[in-house]
């Protein structure tokens, strides 16, 4: 039975869901193409995502909404998203390798947490890319409705333009209400 890599995107964002992906790589793929999604461009992520779609790789995603994040905290919501992603895989993995420091409670498959695994383990890197591509696409859709928040360029993260928009216009329904925007603004002053 195969091994699945798991990672998330959007954990530190001020808006939108946290998206987790679980990926079982096609053994025929060249593993050298996989890198941490934060270390490659959006164009490279999209190209690798298309390679995954065209291969025999198996992947699934899990989302935890901004409402859930506000209700139970980002760490627990990330674990919920990861559990959903693993449980939705059409192939049951023998083992799950998770980027990070801990394993979600309730995971019934052998698992190992690997700090910076997204930069060194191809199946985790692939999960990192899938989660980032799909979350970015979702944030681009939100950007069409809320252009003043510049979600097309910041993807919901606390950039100066995004923080300024929140401070001047207020939060919109996709913003995480429990995340402190003023502390984010201090980073730019």
Which residues does residue 113 pair with via DSSP β-bridges, in sequence order? Answer: 98
Has residue 180 been placed in a domain? no
Average pLDDT value for residue range 142-150? 96
> Which 8-state DSSP code applies to residue 118?
G
The pairing of strands 95-99 and 110-114 is parallel
Has residue 174 been placed in a domain? no
Residue 53 sits in a domain whose CATH number is 3.30.420.10
Tokens 């935890």 correspond to what residue?
64
Has residue 169 been placed in a domain? no
CB 73: neighbour CB atoms within 10 A? 12
Give the separation between CA 11 and CA 28, rounded to whole angstroms.
31
Q: What is the pLDDT of residues 3-48, one digit of tens each?
A: 999 999 999 999 999 999 999 999 999 999 998 888 999 999 999 9
Has residue 158 been placed in a domain? no
Has residue 182 been placed in a domain? no
Give the distance from CA 80 to its chain's centroid.
12
- Structural element, H or E, at residue 96: strand 95-99
Cβ–Cβ under 8 Å, residues 132 and 45: yes
**Per-residue model confidence (pLDDT) at position 93:** 96
Has residue 177 been placed in a domain? no
Assign 181 a pLDDT band (cuts: 50, 70, 90). confident
**Per-residue model confidence (pLDDT) at position 184:** 55
- Residues near 51 by Cβ (< 8 Å), separated by ≥ 6? 29, 33
User: How many domains, in total, are found in the chain?
Assistant: 1
Question: What tokens were used for 137?
Answer: 């696409």
- Residues near 106 by Cβ (< 8 Å), separated by ≥ 6? 79, 83
Cβ–Cβ under 8 Å, residues 107 and 89: no
pTM of the full predicted structure?
0.93
Has residue 172 been placed in a domain? no
- Domain hosting 71: range is 3-145
């Amino acid at each position: 039975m195969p091994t699945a890599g798991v990672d998330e995107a959007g954990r530190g964002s001020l808006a939108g869901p946290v998206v987790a992906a679980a990926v079982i790589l096609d053994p025929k793929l060249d593993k050298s193409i996989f890198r941490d999604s934060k270390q490659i461009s959006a164009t490279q992520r999209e190209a690798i995502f298309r390679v995954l779609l065209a291969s025999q790789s198996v992947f699934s995603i899990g989302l935890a909404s901004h409402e859930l994040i506000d209700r139970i905290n980002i760490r627990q919501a990330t674990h919920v998203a990861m559990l959903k992603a693993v449980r939705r895989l059409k192939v049951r993995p023998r083992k799950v390798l998770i980027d990070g420091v801990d394993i979600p409670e309730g995971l019934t498959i052998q698992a190992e947490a690997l700090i910076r695994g997204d930069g060194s383990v191809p199946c985790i890197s692939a999960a990192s890319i899938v989660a980032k591509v799909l979350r970015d696409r979702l944030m681009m859709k939100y950007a069409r409705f809320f252009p003043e928040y510049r979600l097309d360029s910041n993807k919901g993260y606390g950039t100066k333009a995004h923080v300024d928009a929140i401070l001047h216009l207020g939060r919109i329904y996709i913003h995480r209400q429990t995340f402190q925007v003023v502390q984010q603004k201090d980073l730019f002053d």
